[in-house]
Amino acid sequence: MRQRSRGDANNKACKLQTATSTVNYNSDSEDVQAQWKTLAEQCPAPKSSIPLTGQLILKGLAAFDVLRAQQHGNSGKLTNLLGHLNSAGSDGCDGKTGGNGGNCVYYGHDPISKKPKQPEWYDKLVAAAAKLDAADKARHRAAALEQKLRSLNSTLTALIQLTALPSGQQKDQAKAPTATSATNPTATGSSTNCPKLKNNKEGCEADSNCIWKGGESKTGDCEVNTTKLTEQTKQAATGAASRADPNCGQYNDPESCAKAPGKPKEGKKSVCGWIENKCHDSSILVSKQFALMPAAFVILVLF
């Protein structure tokens, strides 16, 4: 099928001041550089505010497939072209509105299988769409992993600080939350990161202290799960109350320390114990303090 551009006074694409001349695309010796230069200089580059995604590319290719599958010509057998072809279409895409030609682009058919040929750029766009989707998924996964690492880092820091404190200060750390933390849930945990996860669906859903408000969309707000944080605060306060300080430090000798009144913790013979020449709560043992550290690093390795 012959393909030729229309070269008359009305051939003014992009409102060209000077019409382009006729270009015979079937000729190996045809010089199209001058005509292309005219189009490139006077036709403005397309602009779009919509970000390019893999789904957007595939949507465009699907629309392209529908258009080129339309039937043209008297018999309706002329396909795999964009534009319009008149009558029998024997003159090909010659750029004319009458006769047996038309304003179109013909992509051809395989001479053996008779199947429509794909433009060279078609498969490249499919591959580009796949890479864009993979990059988008990797970006969201990286954001979610970063959130988990930040949360784990906070936990490890707290454990290191706990094991470095004297036993009396450790018990103070286990007491009920302050009024500020109880009335302001965003002051605890990783909930302060929730607003930073706006437009990050996977990262927000990965943080148990946050609630995703964007539904199925990848864009939206990430808010603090105040209900959960309030429950955590109540549980912490209840646990602290059940571990009332027996005030073992008031005893100055091993005998009175061992006879301190109260109910011993599970696995302990007495409420208080004589440790390093001082009377301590028997549940606060150095071995238990440092047992937390290996456990935390095991979690890190598994993560």
Alpha carbon 190 to its chain centroid, in Å, reads: 19
Scored b (16 or more CB within 10 A) or e, 54-75 reads beebbeeeeeeeeebeeebbee
Give CA–CA dist 101/93, Å, rounded.
Answer: 5
Q: Where are the domains of the chain?
A: 7-45, 126-243+283-302
Q: What is the pTM of this model?
A: 0.40
Residue 116 bridge partners (DSSP): 109
> Which residue positions in the chain have pLDDT lower than 50?
1-3, 176-189, 241, 285-292, 296, 298-303
Q: Which pLDDT tens digit goes with each residue over 230-281?
A: 777 777 665 554 555 678 888 888 888 888 888 887 777 788 888 778 888 8
Cα–Cα distances in angstroms (integers) from residue 249 to residues 63, 161, 285, in the given order: 80, 22, 15
- Determine the pLDDT at residue 232: 74
Q: Which residue has the tokens 């929730």?
A: 194
- Give me the half-sphere count of Cα atoms (radius 13 Å) on the Cβ side of residue 126: 10
pLDDT in the model for residue 266:
75
What is the length of the chain?
303
Q: Which amino acid is at 158?
A: A
